[in-house]
Structure 1
Amino acid sequence: VIVTFIDRIDNIHKHNKYLMLLLEYIRYRIPEFIHYILPVAALATTLLSLGLLTKFNEITAMKACGISLYRITLPVVLMAVLVSFLSFYLQENILPNSNKKVEEIWDKINDVPPRSYSYLDRRWVLSKEKNRIYHYNYFDREKSVFSQLSIYDFDPSTWSFQRRIYSERGYLSEGHLSLANCWYRDFVNGRPTKFEKSEKMDLSVVEDRSYFMKERKVPEQMSYRELGQYIEELEERDFDTVRFKVDLNYKVSFPLASLIMTLLGIPFAFSMGKRGTLVGIGLSIVIAMIYWGGIGIFKSLGYLNYLDAFLAAWGPNLIFGLIGLYLLFTLRT
């Protein structure tokens, strides 16, 4: 929070904005901070709590009573599972809205025009077949009526402009678009060849009403389900979805990071517990830095399509999880 405040305060001064706007920006970023700090907190808590028990021989006393290390660590693992569920809940129910709000406030601080996500604000829509662009002033969702509709037809293989159609009103029905008070102009090799006005014109379309009502968001502002549906839509239109598939898998893998860090921290806590609290804190920082570095590397390789989307998102978890399980099962219980 402090680092963010120091980093962003220059923008407040540069654009002559009120300090309260920055405080509101930070307030909406707190859920994101919590989401990303949970794995580090789980690791540090595991190292410190079990390390202190080891340092003061509490673990030795439990083992003398016949309690195995696995039984001792079971509550810690269960707490890590709960933390993972909390992380997933934050990601699915809170972060999409808070991230959108953060972006809106940041644009306001920097005097950037607000970005459009709602169908009420969008004016340009690419057709499913990628050979037509719709531009309109307003779309009435109840009556399925366009106001001041322009349609641009082009050849998707060469991007050559073929026709422009304009209509004061466009009435959308299933597989059909009726235009009123319209005109059209044909183009050949980029030059106009024909112009004609008409009281009425009918077009065949594959888009339905729901297609023009969808919100467009970035992955950070979508839940797992929304992003999955968005990927399906893009694939139907033959768009590249590599980055989105990596982000989709990451939405499941990252919440489990708290559990992975706990499994990794348990054996280190028992083996290094008597070396002091500072050692535990330092070790948790080192492990967290390596883990975050691994996430960045694997995601970058996934974005570049050098790694499968699943492996790009789950690679660090698999590596650290297997190391943690190996160290855990080789402990003397």
Structure 2
Amino acid sequence: MKIITYMLKSFFPIFLGALLFFVLVLCLTDLFMNLWNYISKGVAFKNVGLIILYYIPKTIWYSIPIAMLFATAYMLSDFYARNELLAIFASGISLFRFTIPLLLIAVCMSFVMFFFEDYVVVPTYTKKVHMQDSVLQKEKSLNNNRIVIMADEGKIIYKADFYDDAVKRLYSTYFIVRDNEKNLRALLYAENASWIDGKWVLSNPVEYKNSTDGVVMVDVEEELLDVFIEPPETFRNNTISVEEVNTRQAREYIEHLEKAGLPSAEEKSVYYKKYSFPFVVFIVVFLAVGLSGKTRKNVLIVSLALSITAVVLFYVTQMVTMLMAKFQAIPPLFGAWFPVMLFIIISSFLLKYAKT
């Protein structure tokens, strides 16, 4: 018990110091990247301070895995350098057994990371992005053009040249109506359609039908005019970043994309990443245990270099798999979880051949 207490007393000061360092680096990086824009737009210091404040939870979320990796690698390497682990190994305690408390802390931290992102990081980062866009005058229009929306499980397809959100109106719109077997039932055209009383009211609608003389335009059956009830929000230019919403909102957004017949592979991979990324904390601690004891000299520099290298390799691997998932070369679930599984295997291999 005293050994565990001694280890944790050595671990947490290093972890907190590393966390503060990496948070500071990320905040300063974001500040300097936008500094010229703040100056050119005359943004008040108070607003810049609020933007940085809203960004801090996101930087903590990013920094925890790196800080955990560095603190574990540095602490164990320092123990090796001072021969303290030799006494522990001589007493019959293996490296894995000695570091079990750290691994348990990492598992708990993984679950904390998931809820921390969902309930703290997402709302504060959203405020940061919105406030930054506002002060830099980057507000996005909800108007949309060249829209194709599939609704009612593919039975109704809307194709419009333009959607004006201010008046909730579609322009130059075609409506394709299909039966349960997806066979064409009707093709309609309207100069514009306005959202009134929970449905789209078509202006001068016509229906195209085949006849012996070819395709002709006829009056629209009244019952057809009551089926166009897809809400205006569907037609907005409301593409969102799944990273900026919580898991429930991300799931609803993906369902909306699937309902509209739009591509969703990239959004799904980012959604699954919300569940896989917190386990990075466990992976980096596991990895640090395997990397420890590689040198007795320059422990600080070597530990920092190993930590940064390991994190960079993980993020590069994750970036590649996420891009492959985006372009549907691999399933989204595989794209999010493969780096996690790969580095667990690498960590197990390193631990097997670690000094003990």
- TM-score range with shorter-chain normalisation? 0.7 to 0.9
Of residues 109, 121, 128, the one that matches 1:102 is 128
Gap regions ≥5 residues in structure 1:
139-146
Alignment-derived partner of residue 278 in structure 1: 301
1:114 and 1:20 map into 2 onto residues whose CA distance is: 24
**1:315 and 2:335 are equivalent in the alignment:** no
Distance, in Å, in 2 between the alignment partners of 1:194 and 1:325 is: 71
SS in 1 for 2:292: helix
1:88 Cα deviation (Å)? 1.1
Q: State the TM-score, normalizing by the size of structure 2.
A: 0.72
Count of aligned residue pairs for this structure pair: 305
**Change in 2 beyond 3 A, CA 1:115/1:60:** farther
Aligned counterparts of 1:151 and 1:204: Cα–Cα separation in 2: 18
CA–CA distance in 1 between the matches of 2:225 and 2:205?
15
Equivalent residue, structure 1, for 2:4: none
1:141 match: none
Residue 246 of structure 2 is aligned to residue 246 of structure 1: no
Contact 2:176 2:188 in 1 (8 A): no
Q: Percent identity over the alignment?
A: 21
Give the direction of change, closer, same or farther, for the CA distance of 1:205–1:65 in structure 2 (3 Å limit): same
Q: Please, which moves more after superposition, 147-156 or 20-29?
A: 147-156
**Partner residue in 2 for 1:90:** 116
* 2:197 equivalent in structure 1: 171
1:232 to 255, 260, 263: 255
Partner of 1:291: 314
What TM-score does the superposition give when structure 1 sets the normalisation length? 0.77
Residues 232-241 or 271-280, more deviating: 271-280
**Pair 1:62 & 2:85 matched:** no
Q: Is the 8 A contact 1:92 1:224 kept in 2?
A: yes
Tell whether 2:43 aligns with 1:20.
Answer: no
Contact residue 125 and residue 135 of structure 1 kept, 8 A? no
Q: How big is the shift at 1:232?
A: 2.5
In 1, the alpha carbon distance for the partners of 2:229 and 2:203 equals 21
Q: Alignment partner of 1:271: what SS?
A: coil
Residue 184 of structure 1 and its aligned partner are, at CA, apart by 2.9
The match for 2:33 is 7
For residue 19 of structure 1, what is the amino acid of its counterpart?
Answer: F
Q: CA deviation at 1:274?
A: 5.4
RMSD: 3.8
Can you give the 5+ residue segments of structure 2 that lack an aligned partner in the other structure?
1-26, 178-186, 209-216
2:57 matched residue in structure 1 = 31
Structure 2 counterpart of 1:248, one-letter code: Y
1:45 CA displacement:
0.8
* Number of the residue aligned with 2:105: 79
Distance 1:277 1:102 in 2: 34
**1:322 Cα deviation (Å)?**
0.5
Specify the alignment match of 1:328 in structure 2.
351
Deviation track 1:204-241 (CA, whole Å, cap 9, x = no partner) reads: 245489989xx863201222232223223322332211
Q: Secondary structure at the match of 1:235?
A: helix
For the residues of structure 2 that align with 1:131 and 1:112, how far apart are their CA atoms? 29
Counterpart for residue 11 of structure 2:
none
Q: Choose the corresponding residue for 1:268, options 286, 291, 296.
A: 291
